[in-house]
Structure 1
Amino acid sequence: MTRLPEGIEVLFMAGLGPVTTNAKESERLYKDLLRLPLETIDGYEGYLHSQRIPGIKYFAVWPLNKVALSCFGTEEWPDTLPAPQAWLEIEVADMHSATDILEREGYTLLTRLQEEPWGQTVTRFLSPEGLIMAVTNTPDLRDSPEKE
């Protein structure tokens, strides 16, 4: 009999978006042409984000060099890993349990229970498809209702 892995309690999809290597072209598409209500963050060049798009709590165009910085502390993505094309964050009930389950199931964690300056706790890994995935605890998103 095959043993099923222990499950992770997912609360909601916390956010998603493309990973870009050409921030100007991405800005042209997502902000200028699609007119998504994207904003910038001072000191975080090329990162566009919004919590004001109906149907999603958080959307961001995340430059690959900033993904690498978040995961590895350097702006260079390692040649030994496939470069992600998109990211997906999943808000979970129990960060420690979710992180432990991912490790037990053989996923290589890029970050483990990392505390971000904006209050989010995140464990990042690559999905089999090459997405930069994360299980998260994001207090700001838990407290803000999804914009309909």
Structure 2
Amino acid sequence: MDIRFVAGFGPISPDPQPALDFWTTTLGIHLHELAPGYHHTEDLAGTRAFAIWPLAQAAEATFGTSQWPSDRPVPQAWIEFELESPEAVAAGAAELRDRGQEVLAGPKVEPWGQTTARLLSPEGLLVGLSYLPSFHESES
């Protein structure tokens, strides 16, 4: 698997408002609401995206339901690693399965065109393999 860069990182919060207050007011990170409850920026150096991901939305994207399963550790943060293509996401997910990892979701194409696969790290971090076409526009 050839990880190109960290595509995004951020907290996962069961109650996004206190998280939003901390990250914006306390730390001064300028976020905008990309979708209801999902606050995001692509202007923070060191990562392509930083976002507060509501737990209900992370559960929906991973399990297809707004409730995080009670038999899984509740993640406090997410990180996505960008790969070179949608096919690389599929190959990466297969490689992780071959290494004994449980891939929780994907590979699949999200409604916004990003190809993703997700799993939990041993620490309970929600880890994604991804390919977002707009991150690769300068490569063409």
The 3-state SS of whatever aligns with 2:74 is coil
Q: CA deviation at 1:144?
A: 6.3
2:62 is aligned to 71
* Residue identity (%): 35
Dislocated runs of 4+, deviation >6 Å: none
Distance of 1:48 and 1:144 partners within structure 2: 25
Give 1:33-112 correspondences, 5 Å limit.
33-42=26-35, 44=36, 46-93=37-84, 94-112=88-106
Which whole-Å deviations, capped at 9, do the CAs of 1:8-64 have from their partners, x for residues lacking one? 11111111001111211111111222221201034x2x2111101122110000011
Distance of 1:47 and 1:95 partners within structure 2: 24
Q: Is it true that 1:122 corresponds to 2:113 in the alignment?
A: no
Pair 30,144 (structure 1): closer, same or farther in 2 beyond 3 Å: farther
Backbone CA RMSD of aligned residues: 1.5
2:9 is aligned to 16
The 3-state SS of whatever aligns with 1:124 is strand
Which whole-Å deviations, capped at 9, do the CAs of 1:64-121 have from their partners, x for residues lacking one? 1111011111110000000001001001131221111011111111111111111100
Distance of 1:40 and 1:144 partners within structure 2: 26
Under a length normalisation based on structure 1, what TM-score does the superposition of the two structures give? Answer: 0.86
Q: Is it true that 1:141 corresponds to 2:117 in the alignment?
A: no
| More helix by percentage | 2
Gaps of 5+ in 1: 1-7
